[in-house]
Amino acid sequence: MNDVKNPKKPLIYYYLIVLVVIMLLNATLVPMLSQRNIQQVDYSTFLTMLSEGQIGEVQVDETQIAFTSSEEKNPMIYVTGRMEDAQLVDRLTDAGVSFGQVVPQEMSPLLNFLLSWVLPLGLFWLVGSLLFRQMSKRMGGNTMSFGKSNAKVYVAAQTGKTFNDVAGQDEAKEALTEIVDFLHQPEKYKEIGAKLPKGALLVGPPGTGKTLLAQAVAGEAKVPFFSISGSEFVEMFVGMGAARVRDLFKQAGEKAPCIVFIDEIDAIGKKRDGSPMGGNDEREQTLNQLLTEMDGFDGSKGVVILAATNRPESLDKALLRPGRFDRRVPVELPDLQGREAILRVHARNVKMSRDINFTAIARATSGASGAELANIINEGALAAVKAGRSTVEQQDLEEAVETVIAGYQRKNAVISMKDKLTVSYHEVGHALVAAKLKHSAPVHKITIVPRTSGALGYTMQVDEQEQVLMTREQIMDKITTLTGGRAAEELIFGSVTSGASNDIEQATKLARAMITRLGMSETFDMTALETVGNPYLGADASLMCSADTAARVDQEVVAIIRQAHGQARQILEDNKQKLHELAKYLLEKETITGEEFTVILNRLPQLPQTGEDEKPEETSTDK
């Protein structure tokens, strides 16, 4: 059902109320104002005042006599009915008053028309307009735009985007280049009998550049570009979405060749499951109209429909069949080379230092989208301005990476020395376990500076190469590294804290995925025990097995984590002296690099240990 409620009363209802109010005012208030200085008297009173010389001026008309008193400073007008008095003129002459007869004056027809019709209708229109504006604001400002498309139309000069502005999506650009070439040279394809794909669906996580790709296609083809969101089709009135679809395709046909881009098409393209409780007539009517229009228009005219979504699994199958959205173009998260290219594109208009190492920043941002990488460049520029520099340095970009990942530094946070010491051992526990494992990524940075995301510290690991596949040994080493922080707390303090909550959550997810989805369990072999929904929006998983099987899965998860926890604790016990040394150094410096960590870890122990406090200073890189 449509969630938007219809207005309680039609608009004509308010117009009628205003009209009745104006008529009542005209019938009551206006006569009262005009007669407030007029007093009715009888004819005998008039004769008495006339005989006593109290009347100043008299006016006679066909039905009444109006006169004023000569004894009043602000004379009131007295009115009496006219009698058949043959001696009236003689009486007035003997009394010596000024008298005469009113000459009827007819109002100008034009003035009469203005006062009788134009003025009431003008007031009526003014009040109606005010009510209409108020209602339009409440209903989204589209009260009279029934069936009109809200698509924004851009020409090539207005989009200003080409494929040079898109980086890290080489496969997607290659798939869309054919569409651009067809719009430029349609004869080449018509000669062999090929038809232009009617639609292309851009699918990928948020922030990967789906809208930017659509704008770049329009910019490369130099054709008009219609841009509209799927949610703009479904508004207040039932049937308006379908009418807007018809109007959109009508406009596109008039401006062909052109490109129509529908962002977030899942707002109108969801599956029609036929459920009476979960149906939405307005959305389904809009979807049906979209399907009909895509079947009806001639692709040879050069109208291309591009759509974007990050929920492809929720789209109706009729929308995805050949002849409608013929192509599905994946716009995935960029790889290492793609991230470096994206960073360089967004750094074009930013004053960067010559020694910037974009490769190092790209390695540290594995899994970041194009929007996040653009934000990193901007955060680096802001950090340079705060530091009073005219160019962005490498340290600004490194700080920007941490800002985007973990939030801003909480420099004024008050943390007790006991908690700082616990956090120091916790983070060194992660780093030390990672360094002693064969399949773990190298440590890049360790810090105990708290961040606004709630992290009191973190250990950053950066792979030397991009990892596409993960072996069972790599996942087990990652789980072991995650348990290293809690193992260090247990080993040094004999107790545990709440600081390992995020580590526990990540370790549990990895262990469960090994069993239920990755087939890395001897008990269940290659059996899939859960499905993943919304792979681009959180990838929430749901089990599809019996309760007994789920209980056995839980037992295996506990066994994997217990094995990793025991291995981490054993590594820390074997390197307890280095754990003390590194934790003390980290507590003093608060942030150390991977190089500093490696130097201290590989340094041979010195006897006696009296100068232990000064040794880290000799090998550290002072920040």
CA distance 78 to 362: 99
Q: Which of 256, 246, 288 is nearest to 269 (CA)?
A: 288
Tell me whether residue 565 is annotated as binding: no
DSSP 197-216: -SEEEEE--TTSSHHHHHHH
Strands 225-229 and 152-154, bridge-based pairing: antiparallel
Q: Is 402 a catalytic residue?
A: no
Length, in residues, of the chain? 623
CA distance 392 to 352: 5
Tell me whether residue 207 is annotated as binding: yes
Tell me whether residue 302 is annotated as binding: no
Two tokens, residue 618 = 């000799």
Tell me whether residue 426 is annotated as binding: yes
Two tokens, residue 205 = 């996580």
Q: What is the 3-state secondary structure (H, E, C) of 413-468?
A: CCCCHHHHHHHHHHHHHHHHHHHHCCCCCCEEEEECCCECCCCCCEEEECCCCCCC
DSSP 497-560: -GGGHHHHHHHHHHHHHHHHTS--BTTTBT---EEEE-TTTT-EEEE-S-HHHHHHHHHHHHHH
What residue type is assigned to position 452 of the chain?
Answer: T
In Å, how far from its chain's centre is CA 498?
34
CB 462 within 8 A of CB 444: yes
Select which of 398, 427, 489, 556 is catalytic. 427
In Å, how far from its chain's centre is CA 183?
32
CA distance 93 to 394: 113
Tell me whether residue 439 is annotated as binding: no
Two tokens, residue 570 = 């054993």
Tell me whether residue 430 is annotated as binding: yes
Tell me whether residue 535 is annotated as binding: no
CA distance 178 to 174: 7
Tell me whether residue 444 is annotated as binding: no
Neighbours of 268 (CB within 10 A): 28
Tell me whether residue 205 is annotated as binding: yes
Two tokens, residue 489 = 């707390």
Annotated binding site for ATP: 204-211
Catalytic residues: 427
Annotated binding site: 204-211, 426, 430, 503
